[in-house]
Amino acid sequence: MATEIWRWIQKQDMGPSPRYAFSMAYDSGSKKVTLFGGASLDGGLFNDTWEWDDQLWTQVADTGPSTRGLHKMVYDSKNSKMVLFGGTDNTSFMNDT
């Protein structure tokens, strides 16, 4: 059996800062992936929004929903909208949409 060698190709050296507890969803209308929020490596929270178009990361907003992590996102194709629910602001859990 032949062994395939996979190689990573760096497409861009800018984009969202390192983070965890973020959420991403695929927007089938624009054919882009949207990333929102999350926590920095030191525990601070983000409320920035980024899009990935298979070539580049673009920051599309740094305002919007409040800072949070552990939230969920999904693309609503019927209404052509990204929907975000819940998360935590490090003090309490949210139940907003």
Query: What are the sequence ranges of the domains in the chain?
Result: 23-94
Cα–Cα dist 87/52, whole Å = 22
pTM listed for this prediction? 0.84
User: Mean per-residue pLDDT for 62-88?
Assistant: 95
Sign for the pseudo-dihedral over CA of 71, 77, 82, 83: negative
pLDDT of 34 reads: 97
Query: Do 24 and 42 form a contact (C-beta atoms < 8 A)?
Result: no
Output the CA torsion sign for 30, 10, 8, 74. Answer: negative
Contact 25, 82 (CB under 8 A): yes
- 62 in helix, strand or coil? coil
Confidence of residue 35 (pLDDT cuts 50, 70, 90): very high
